[in-house]
Structure 1
Amino acid sequence: MALTKLIELLERLDEAHQQMLDLAATKKEAIMDNKVEGIIEILNRESKLMKLTRQLEEQRAEAAYAFLQGVGIRSNLNLNLTELSRLVFDPDDKSRLLHVQLKLSDTLKSLKQANELNQKLIEQSLTFIDYTLDLLVGRPNQDITYHHPSDKGAAVNRSGLFDARG
């Protein structure tokens, strides 16, 4: 019974991470299309999924502990799924557990790659914004100090299109 609940929780965790993976793909498109409101909506949905994932993870830990107690282990060992599968003697249950472990692992790897790509896209967007601002306004490290108008040698030459001091 405890093993069935554990497997069901792992499947629900995989489903939640699959939804996050779908959101990551949507976020990638929103980042590339510069749709800020879409990104904010996606972040809100991701936040809700993260809360669900935390709850499922807590339930998974409880189910793993219940399984360990069911097989006669009274301590609260922090075993990974491979170690836990060694305590499962029914071949069908063991196969289901290892299958869901593999599926969840693949989903998490894909999600990690998608998040890394989105992070790089955001960094590139910010770099482009910085570059564009530098072109429009000028370098922020240029002297912006007062010089007397008659002091022609100390005139500030700004290369940007706008004079931010205006």
Structure 2
Amino acid sequence: MALTTLIELLERLDEVHNQMLELAAEKKQTIMDNKVDGLIDILNRESKLMKLIGQLEEQRIAAAYTVLQGVGIRSNLNLNLTELSRLIFDPEDKARLLHIQQKLSGTLHRLKEANELNQKLIEQSLTFIDYSLDLLVGRPNQDITYHHPSDKGNGVNRSGIFDARG
């Protein structure tokens, strides 16, 4: 019974991570479309899912401990699923546990890749924004340092589109 609860929790974790994967795809398109409001909405939905994942993880840890107690291990070991599966002797139960482990692992791997791609897209967007600002405002030829106002010879010359001295 405890193993069934653990497997159900792992399946629920996989479902929620798949929802995160769907949000990652939405986020990718939102980033490419430069929709800031849409991105904020997605981040709020991700935050709710992350809270749910945290709760499910706590339940998973408790269920794994119950499985350990069921096989006679009284200590609170922090075993991964592969190690835990070695303690399961029923071939069907072991197969179910290993199947959901592989399924969840694949989902997590795809989610990691999607998040890395979105991070790169955001970095590229920020680089483009920085470049665009450089074109509009211009970069000074020297480092910006403090100069006494009466020292007019060392002023910073910006030759961008917006020239405040006009």
Match of 1:7 in 2: 7
Match of 1:97 in 2: 97
How far has the Cα of 1:91 moved from its partner? 1.0
Q: Tell me, which stretches of 5 or more residues in structure 1 are unaligned?
A: none
RMSD value over aligned CA atoms?
A: 2.0
Residue of structure 2 equivalent to 1:49: 49
Question: What residue in structure 1 maps to residue 59 of structure 2?
Answer: 59
Moved over 6 A (4+): none
Question: How far apart are 1:157 and its partner, in Å?
Answer: 3.6
Q: Matches of residues 155-166 of structure 1 in structure 2 within 5 Å?
A: 156-164=156-164
**Cα distance, 1:160 vs structure 2:** 1.0
Deviations 1:43-84 (A, max 9, x none): 000000000000000000000000100110000001100010
2:76 is matched with which residue? 76
In structure 2, the CA distance between the partners of 1:45 and 1:82, relative to structure 1 (3 Å rule), is same
- Structure 1 residues 131, 143: closer, same or farther in 2, change over 3 A? farther
Shift of 1:163: 2.0
1:32 aligns with 2:32: yes
Note closer, same or farther for the CA distance 1:129–1:164 as it changes in structure 2 (3 Å cut).
Answer: farther
CA 1:117/1:147 → structure 2, altered by over 3 Å: closer, same or farther?
Answer: farther
Call closer, same or farther: CA 1:20–1:83 in 2, change over 3 Å. Answer: same
Unmatched 5+ residue regions in structure 2? none
Q: How does 1:100-139 map to 2 (within 5 A)?
A: 100-139=100-139
d(CA) in 1 for partners of 2:5, 2:30: 37
Displacement of 1:155 in angstroms is: 6.4
1:89, CA displacement in angstroms?
Answer: 1.1
TM-score (norm 1): 0.91
Amino acid at match of 1:85: S
3-state SS of paired residue (1:23): helix
Structure 1 residues 82 and 111, CA gap change in structure 2 (3 angstroms): same
Kindly, what percent of the aligned residue pairs are identical? 77
TM-score for both structures, normalised by structure 2? 0.91
Contact 1:20–1:46 (Cα < 8 Å) also in 2: yes
Question: How many Å separate the matches in 2 of 1:161 and 1:49?
Answer: 45
Query: Which amino acid is the alignment partner of residue 2 of structure 1?
Result: A
Matched to 2:83, the amino acid is: E
Matched position secondary structure for 2:17: helix
